[in-house]
Structure 1
Amino acid sequence: MFVMKRKESTVTMIRRFFRHLGESIKNLKRNLLSTLTAVFSVMIVLSLLGVFGSVILNTQKLASDIEKNIQVNVYLDPDSTDASETVKELSGQIVANKDYHKIYNALTKIKGVDKVTFSSKEEQKKQLIETMGSSFETATGDANPLSDVYIVQTKSPDDVSRVAKEAKAIQGVDNANFGGSDTEILMATMKRVQFWGIIATALLTIVAVLLISNTIRITIMSRATEIQIMRLVGAKNSYIRRPYLMEGAWIGALGAIIPSILIYVLYHMVYSTLNPDFVKGGISMYDADWFVYAVIGTLFAVGIIIGSIGSRMAMRRYLKY
């Protein structure tokens, strides 16, 4: 008996759900002008949310990649033998280098240093030729104007400036840099873009909720008498509210269609144009193969949620919570 009642209850809930679903669709058709206005409002807001969200997330990704690639280049004095285990005396005799790895050991002891890698002046010249061309190929041996360098990677990007300063003070170090003020300005700019982008996204979300709420409130006003009659005959608030919540969800979902198409086209266009150059610099945008679909799914979810919230807010005047 208990099992039968439970089955009947489940069937009733399912029927009720589809009844409310049908009512919400009828309401959308019945109030077509209001529906189109609400959908258009949601469409504009979700388009902006999608664009802002994509920019913010990729800015954060690029900033993170840049931070990981920031390293301190510690240039040694031109006559430094810190990386040589042996040295040649004036007499021509090869002896053990008493100064071997003095600078290296001092660098590894600096707080925040994760890894120290040596790069000779010849290796530096090869990299320069690859970047700048063959004009440096004649600079060999003593004619090579470059210096041996220790490449220092830090445990955190916040340690870079301090490590560079301490490394520069070590005896035998000619200079130490990490991109200096240009890098710091770039990181600060990216952080500002993220901060203001998040604020703009939050404001757009609030605007979307209010727009949907006001639009649905207009449609509800025309049905105020119907709602009051339903309450008088004993209909529960939850029963009255559900079709309107679904109506708001439909508006949110419909409003997400055009923004999703827009994001799909624009992101693939930007990704194929800019990302190859980013990759050359050791950074990259989020992969379009999955990022676009994640954003589209989020847009539909946000549209449905803010649509339902807007409807709920619009119903407060007519139903007691």
Structure 2
Amino acid sequence: MSAAFSMTITLLLIAVFLLLTSNLSNITYHIEDALTIRATIDNVVTDQEKTTLQKKIEKLPHVTSVKLSSGDEELAAYKKEYESNDSLFSMYEGKTNPILDAFIIEVKDANNVKKLNAQIHDMKGIVKASYGGEETDAMIQTFSSMRTGSFLFIIFLTLVAMFLIANKIKMSIYTRKSEIAIMRFVGASNWCIRFPMMLEGILIGLAGAIVPAIVTVVGYHYVYLMLDGRMMSEMFRLQPSEPLSLQVAGILLLIGMGVGLFGSFFSTSRYLRWKR
């Protein structure tokens, strides 16, 4: 029971970090997927030159698509973004609109956006090219670092769980050394002695994984509904509770049984090697 309880605590922590890592990956993917370069076009550029410039940008590596957004469309986007103060932009409607046309450029890989932004910025006819700058890079880098750290911590917790199971099986072996000696005398092979211990380790791991699996499914569903599927804004959307929580629950059960299996296998093998 003590080994199963220790496994339960460890697997609960693993569940939290699995959910965190999965959602960080999802958020990072959405940020990178929505990452675009906005290139403002000089007002002296003719329509024909805009078409030529658009084709030139489309041929650049890592560019997915290029869309021309007129000054009126840009104004409408600003009004939508600042909906509470859209009256501030009303004076610019019509011929008095000072907002320049722009190219909206979608990029394949966020790692290439900085270099690509510099290339577009230096093109003739482009006044300015921007994508969010260092703040966007820092945010993506932070999420990637957190994701890597969470993954490493999951590996550490798995090793801790394996150590707990191994110690429990080791104590079981010491308390049963007389029975093991009798099995040896009557001709039992190492696998005949090892198999019950491995089965015990699997059952301990499974017993320790049941509660974390249930808590993961119920708890994550509750958190998802409570936060309405997002953190702070639409940009940071959480993964739906299904199938994510069920997948994590399945992983916890597999980790529990796998850790119990390998922990007991190594402990039993070491003891049998010492007593050979």
TM-score, normalised via structure 2 length: 0.91
| Deviation (angstroms), 1:170 | 1.3
Name 2:188's counterpart in structure 1.
235
Question: 1:106 aligned to 2:71?
Answer: no
Tell me the secondary structure at the aligned position of residue 137 of structure 2.
helix
State whether structure 2 residue 19 is matched by structure 1 residue 54: yes
The structural deviation recorded for 1:268 is 1.5
Q: 1:162 aligns with which of 106, 115, 120?
A: 115
Contact 1:50–1:299, Cα closer than 8 Å, also in 2: yes
Q: Secondary structure at the match of 1:175?
A: strand
Q: Give the distance between the partners of 1:62 and 1:100, measured in 2 at CA.
A: 34
Which entry has the higher C-alpha Rg, 1 or 2?
A: 1
- Opposite residue 181 of structure 2, the aligned amino acid is Q
The one of 30, 34, 38 aligned to 1:69: 34
The DSSP-based 3-state class of the residue aligned with 1:72 is strand
Question: 2:205: which partner in 1?
Answer: 252
Q: Aligned-pair distance for 1:278? A: 7.4
The answer to whether the Cα contact below 8 Å between 2:229 and 2:240 also exists between their aligned partners in 1 is no
**Partners in 2 of 1:184 and 1:306 — Cα distance?**
38
Distance 1:265 1:80, change over 3 A: farther
CA offsets, 1:42-73, max 9 Å, x none?
A: 11111111111111122112111211111111
Residues in 2 aligned to 1:274 and 1:184: alpha-carbon distance in whole angstroms: 27
Structure 1 gap segments, 5+ residues each: 1-35, 85-96
Q: 1:238 to 1:148 in 2, by over 3 A?
A: same
Q: Which residue of the partner structure matches residue 234 of structure 2?
A: 280
Q: Which amino acid aligns with 1:286?
A: Q
Matching residue of 2:154: 201
CA-to-partner distance for each residue in 1:114-154, whole Å, 9 max, x for gaps?
21101111111112212212222332124323221101112
Q: Output the CA distance in 1 between the equivalents of 2:201 and 2:58.
A: 61
The C-alpha deviation readout for 1:190-241, integer Å capped at 9, x for no partner, is: 1111111111111111111011111221122111111111111111221121
Q: Give 3-state SS (helix, strand or coil) of 1:115's partner.
A: strand
Q: Secondary structure at the match of 1:203?
A: helix
Q: Distance in 1 between matches of 2:156 and 2:34?
A: 34
For the residue of structure 2 that corresponds to 1:280, the secondary structure is: strand
Q: CA RMSD in A?
A: 1.9
Partners of 1:146 and 1:270 lie apart in 2 by: 43
Secondary structure of 2:129's match? strand
CA distance, structure 2, for counterparts of residue 75 and residue 40 of structure 1:
61
Structure 1 Cα separation of the partners of residues 173 and 212 of structure 2 = 27
Q: 1:93 maps to what in 2?
A: none
Q: Equivalent residue for 1:310?
A: 263
- 3-state SS in 2 of match to 1:150: strand
Secondary structure (helix, strand or coil) at the match of 2:142 reads helix
Q: 1:137 to 1:147 in 2, by over 3 A?
A: same
Runs of 4+ in 1 over 4 A off after TM superposition: 276-279
**Are the equivalent residues in 2 in contact too, given 1:110–1:166 (CA < 8 A)?**
no
Mapped to 2, the partners of 1:276 and 1:196 lie a distance apart of 22
